[in-house]
Amino acid sequence: MNTPLHVAHAVLSLDVGGLERVVLALVREGTRRGQRVSVVCVEKPGALADEARAAGAEVHSLDKPPGRRAEYVGKAAELLVRLAPDVVHTHQIGAAWYVGPGAAERRTPVLHTEHGNQFARDGGWMDRLKSRLFYRKAAKRVGRFCCVSAEIAAAVTRWGTVPRRLVEVVPNGIDTTVADGLPSPAEAKASIGLPADAGVVGTVGRLNEVKRQDRLLRAAAELRPRFPALRVVIVGDGPERSNLERLANDLGLAEITTFAGFQPKPELYLRAMDVFALTSRSEGFPVSILEAWAVGVPVVCTAVGGIPDVVADGETGVLVPQHDAAGLVAALARPLADQPFHAKLVRTAAETVRRKYSLTNVAAEYERAYRELIAAGEGGR
């Protein structure tokens, strides 16, 4: 009988966010495929740790405090000795920096996935230089460097930061059956306390400055006179929540805005939306777009990061330049007012997510890469 492939996913934490939901999905799909799965959390287990355990994974935490702590590289190495995985899959460069050296010591191959473009978020040339040096050092332990979008791949290979021969693009994927068993949109609205005939615009994501949910609230204030039944739903939590609640009150939107907080299964809230909005200033490959498509909700997004590689403007969604406030208002209004256009976006997006972004296909691609690295003896680069 063949021994199951033991995959150790390494993350900073299994806290709430798109990256973490992708890791959780890979855990579920990995165990379904017969893998033995471990998760190494560098900082803390996080809110999704129990779900990972329920899916069949062992979850371990190094409990690293804030800041760069070199001694936790050694603690990660000790944990890997105990776990003895066949392959380590790191997510985001910080996890690779802490866990990669230990994998190299025991000649365990490392596959890395970069989920965001850190360089787009750095404030100035000195920050970007520091990031390049950090990436370059961490990548020395990696046998294959996957990026969820071509935009991220271009960023990490610029100036030779990560060798091009290591880099490939592997888009995110989701369980495309996520809508199975969900109620109708009208029933979903009623279940979360909204009128069945409301026009609902909403979003799902961590409430932090990068996501710029304030843009959605400002656009909703402009839309309200035209759509008196408008409602806003914001799913997620984070450091910007109190600021966003204050802004909703200042804009006169408090009575029509629902702050739903963190929802481990946001599908019901997505089903209640007529339009999903993603108004970020920086993105990698947001899984929330795929989740909206899968439950039949059209998307309106700022054209940043890897989003234009995913969303075809006017076909699977609507793209808006990130600083175009009037354009965002118009983009949100169109699917609310134009039902044939709304139906077209829903139909085309549903076909796209099933064809291109199935979790089953993504997990199979990763497993193929794991086995290639193991067969090639890529541990300890």
63 close to 80: Cβ distance less than 8 angstroms? no
User: Which pLDDT band holds residue 131 (cuts at 50, 70, 90)?
Assistant: confident
Evaluated on CA atoms 164, 166, 168, 173, the torsion sign reads negative
* Per-residue model confidence as pLDDT tens digits over 81-112: 999 999 999 999 999 999 999 999 999 999 99
Q: Do 206 and 112 belong to one domain? A: no
pLDDT digits (tens, 9 = 90+) for 221-268: 999 999 999 999 999 999 999 999 999 999 999 999 999 999 878 999
Distance CA 86, CA 88 (A): 7
Phi, psi of 49 (to 5 degrees): -60, -40
Q: Are residues 116 and 74 in the same domain?
A: yes
Q: Are residues 199 and 247 in the same domain?
A: yes
The answer on 144 and 239 residing in a single domain is: no
Q: What is the pTM of this model?
A: 0.87
DSSP codes joined into one string, 132-167: HHHHHHHHTT-SEEEESSHHHHHHHHGGGSS-GGGE
Closest C-alpha to 86, from 203, 212, 2: 2
3-class state of residue 284 by DSSP: coil
Domain membership flag for residue 158: yes
Q: Are residues 338 and 189 in the same domain?
A: yes
Note whether 101 and 197 are same-domain residues. Answer: no
Q: What pLDDT is stored for residue 20 in this prediction?
A: 92
180 in any annotated domain: no
Is residue 89 within 8 A of residue 7, CB to CB? The reply is yes
CA nearest neighbour of 271 among 234, 235, 290, 297: 297
Which run of H or E residues covers position 200? strand 199-204
Same domain, 352 and 362: no
Mean pLDDT of 36-56: 96
Residues 136 and 157 in one domain: yes
Q: How confident is the model at residue 150 (pLDDT cuts 50, 70, 90)?
A: very high
The boundaries of the domain holding residue 112 are 6-173+358-376
- Same structural domain, 339 and 365: no
317-329 burial by CB neighbour count: b if 16+ within 10 A, else e? bbbbebeeeebbb
Based on the fold, state whether residues 90 and 138 are members of the same structural domain: yes
The total number of structural domains in the chain stands at 2
Q: What's the rounded mean pLDDT across residues 72-88?
A: 97
As a whole number of angstroms, the distance between CA 284 and CA 171 comes to 10
Q: Are residues 351 and 203 in the same domain?
A: yes
Q: What mean pLDDT is predicted for residues 337-366?
A: 95
Residue 381 lies in a domain: no
Task: Establish if 1 belongs to a structural domain.
Answer: no
